[in-house]
Amino acid sequence: MKTIKGPALFLAQYVGDEFPFDSLAHLAPWVASLGFKGVQIPTWDKRLFDLEQAAESPEYCREVQALLAEHGLEITELSSHLQGQLVAVHPVYDSVFDGFAPTELHGDPVARQAWAVQQLKLAARASANLGLSAHGTFSGSLLWPFLYPWPQRPTGLVEEGFAELARRWRPILDAFADAGVDLCFEIHPGEDLHDGATFERFLEEVDHHPRCCMLYDPSHMVLQQLDHLAFLDRYHPWIRMFHVKDAEFQPSASQGVYGGYANWIDRAGRFRSLGDGQVDFKGIFSKLAQYDFDGWAVIEWECALKHPEQGAAEGARFVTDHIIRVTERAFDDFADAGTDRQANRVLLGLD
């Protein structure tokens, strides 16, 4: 068994124009002061990280690592969630997702998608230059508008959607294979890969590509009313990344999983800071230890109520308290009789 690394913090929700959130150099001492040991870095914000430079320059990567090491931090993984979303966009979402791409690509879905693919390939090389083993992203979605089958979906629609999704992602998966990095799709509502069944369908379409893996975030299981512990039992061979995020689901007479178009604070299912929701983290950390997960426990803070700085400070302590230092010996080793094969055969009445 292996001990999970952490705690670490995903920086996407903490970047801003005010000190200390305006640069990686300023964020690093703040993150370290809270007790974090690692940071997960979004690749779309140059205030934190220059993806193009990292893909081309090992020296730049060493500089970033040295900056973090001064504060006892290391990079856990890179994230390309926004770029990954743009690999596959249904036209109904074109205008709202334009904001994830450079201004000059707005209104041009073909050019935007080509840019997103190149961004993912850069992320593969950057991850390799940093010596990372996993990378987090979104799958994007061609089928999400057809999630609930009314009117009934035309025959072959889902199959065609997943075939096209796989066609778009296979060259990217190959780029990650060349880089020696696992590509981890966050299982997330809004993406075509939003539960175990959709991941399995996609995995089949990419011929069980060895670099096609998962980012596990139990909060999304709670909001979909999936069994987030049984999910680990079934899918642990593919889980390479872990977002530690809490959520709660409190259905009422007026709304349930779909949320009634309510704002986050009024939804039956909503994200909460660690320890304030319904995720069974003791069970999760136990199962991850049991299944030899050797990655990082990375907090992704999202909460409808609590301030992000409070969430980060409390979260660092929460994860530290939940990480299991795995045992190196069996609890009953003291009673080992020291028998050998011949003695065992005698005990079985075979000799």
The CATH architecture to which 5-347 belongs is Alpha-Beta Barrel (3.20)
Nearest to 79 by CA among 24, 42, 122: 42
Per-residue pLDDT of the chain (351 residues; tens, 9 = 90+): 899 999 999 999 999 999 999 999 999 999 999 999 999 999 999 999 999 999 999 999 999 999 999 999 999 999 999 999 999 999 999 999 999 999 999 999 999 999 999 999 999 999 999 999 999 999 999 999 999 999 999 999 999 999 999 999 999 999 999 999 999 999 999 999 999 999 999 999 999 999 999 999 999 999 999 999 999 999 999 999 999 999 999 999 999 999 999 999 999 999 999 999 999 999 999 999 999 999 999 999 999 999 999 999 999 999 999 999 998 776 666 557 677 888 888 888 997
- What the block records as the tokens of 241 is 């990344």
Q: Which amino acid is at 138?
A: F
Helices (H), 206-323: 218-224, 228-235, 281-290, 308-322
pTM: 0.95
Instruction: Bin 205: left if φ > 0, else alpha if -120 < ψ < 50, else beta.
Output: alpha
Residue 144 CB partners (closer than 8 Å, separation 6+): 90, 190, 191, 192
Q: Domain limits of the chain?
A: 5-347
Residue 11 CB partners (closer than 8 Å, separation 6+): 24, 27, 31, 39, 40, 41, 42, 48
In the DSSP assignment, the letter for residue 141 is B
